[in-house]
Amino acid sequence: MNGLDSPLRGRGFSAALGRLPTGAKVFLILVGALLPLALIALFTTLQTTRSADDEARERLSVTAQESAGNLENLLANHVAQLGEALAALERNPEDAPSCTRLAGTYAAQGQAHFVVLDRRGRTLCGRAFDQIRMADTPRSDVAARIVPGGLLLRISGSDGATATAYYPRDLLAGLARPSGFVPEYGAALIGHGDRLTLRALKDNGPLDRGKSLRSNLGIDDLALETTMPGAPITSPLVIATVLLVVMWIAAAAIGWFVVDILLIRPLRQLRSSVANYQPGDVIDTERLGPIPAQEIRELGDTFSDISRTVQAHEADLAKGLVQQTRLTREVHHRVKNNLQVISSLINFHARAAKGEEAANAYASIQRRVDALAVVHRHHYAEMEENRGLELRSVIGELAANLRATASEQARGMGITLEVESLLVTQDVAIAVSFLLTEIIELAVSCNSAAQIRISIKAPEDADRAVLRVSSPALVGGPVFEGLVDKRYGRVLLGLARQLRTQLHHDPLVGAYETTIAITGRF
């Protein structure tokens, strides 16, 4: 499972990194690149502090050894002399030389006191002092107790006599003081859970660190604890460490800021200009200012040159489009005029025709030419907007022309229109005009007084409309079927194929129905 999860985690991290903005990526890269330098500087600082701690530890060891050695030698010597004097006085309470030697020893110390008592509490040597009652020492060979203001030593004899000595704190502090120049230190006697401070360190600050070393003095449970301040975490060291971190972050931030000013922000502005570009505009690179990198300025100039080239091409295309529109309008105008000329020529020849059949043939041709002319005339009128041909006006004019050009026998023909305001293309309008012309002529051929109803309707938002032509003259019968088979059937099917639809005939009702494509509503 671990082997399968690793690629997924990699893809997830890559995807998360890919979603970050470029500025954040640059900042993270710079932070990672500068991190080894920051770690080296921090390691150097810590190594310097560690070296200072080692030196402080060595000084503490030397100081503790010297102080403990002084106290241990003195107390061991005094314990031995007290023991000898106590033994001699137990054997002979009148042994004055032993007492004199002991008094001389303590007289050299100045502030120390001693007394030797028999088992009844009578003084055999020395003199009694107040501190003798401050400690409840057990009956043991040598007992050391810390009492308020000093140290009390008591040696017990074989028959109940005791030798007691008292050492005030100032005497012990002087004895424990190392010789020569000694840095700031602290000293304290510790025994049986009690503590006597001989020398106190100054008040430590929140960043000061102290190191302690305890040395056993070899007398009962007595020990000397020596304390020296470690390498202090001074404010300059803290400031240097904080400045190191600040400089690390600042270096990454400055690098990101420079990259953002020279690269990222100009690229973002250039992208915005390109994204908002519209054909015919010119991309302005002056908004980038003089700060961006030279490569980005050259890229911006390239985009600006391309936009000028596009602008020139747009102008040429617009000019060509105007000219092409003018030519197209001219062509449609000429076609419309030519169709009118052809219609006039057909009408002129129809008047000179001999026989009713020839006149009817000329009239049939003229109706089809008129249908085509109507479409071209409306198309020419709609060319400015180019939305399509309005089908109702086209069919309305077509119906008027058909009634106007009807023969004398068909003067009773009626055409009813129910056409919605729909828009169609020119090709659809031509095919619909021809289709309606053929169906109406078919109906008139079956019944010269035919009543014809034309409807074109389309549902809302539909792209096709239903074209329906109905008339009693279109009901199935021998005359109708003969005309369809001989003349009109193939034409109607061809026009339906041109409209890309099917033409349906209902012989019982007398109606033709089909669908046509529309482009919208008027």
Ranking 15-19, 24-28, 461-465 by mean pLDDT, the lowest is 15-19
Closest CA to 415 of 365, 455, 381: 455
Q: Residue 257 is which amino acid?
A: F
Tokens of 72: 């241990």
What is the predicted pLDDT for the residue at 456?
93
Write the DSSP symbol of residue 119.
T
Per-residue pLDDT band at 1 (split at 50, 70, 90): very low
Per-residue pLDDT band at 217 (split at 50, 70, 90): confident
* Average pLDDT value over all residues in the chain: 78
Neighbours of 152 (CB within 10 A): 21
Handedness of CA 44, 49, 55, 61 (dihedral sign): negative
Per-residue pLDDT band at 361 (split at 50, 70, 90): confident
Per-residue pLDDT band at 370 (split at 50, 70, 90): confident
Per-residue pLDDT band at 7 (split at 50, 70, 90): very low
Per-residue pLDDT band at 234 (split at 50, 70, 90): low
Mean pLDDT over residues 449-454, rounded? 89
pLDDT in tens, 101-118: 888 888 877 778 888 888
Closest CA to 395 of 360, 439, 457, 437: 437
Per-residue pLDDT band at 467 (split at 50, 70, 90): very high
> Which of the pair, 255 or 164, is modelled with greater confidence?
164
The dihedral formed by the CA atoms of 351, 354, 357 and 362, expressed in degrees to the nearest 10: -30
37 pLDDT more than 90: no
5 pLDDT more than 50: no
> Which of the pair, 240 or 96, is modelled with greater confidence?
96
Q: Locate tokens 């002319």: which residue? A: 373
Rounded CA gap, 54 and 516, in Å? Answer: 102
pLDDT in tens, 309-328: 888 888 888 888 888 878 87
Neighbours of 145 (CB within 10 A): 20
Quick one: angle between helices 489-498 and 426-446, nearest 10?
Answer: 160
Mean pLDDT over residues 390-412, rounded? 80
Is the separation of the CB atoms in 117 and 124 below 8 Å? yes
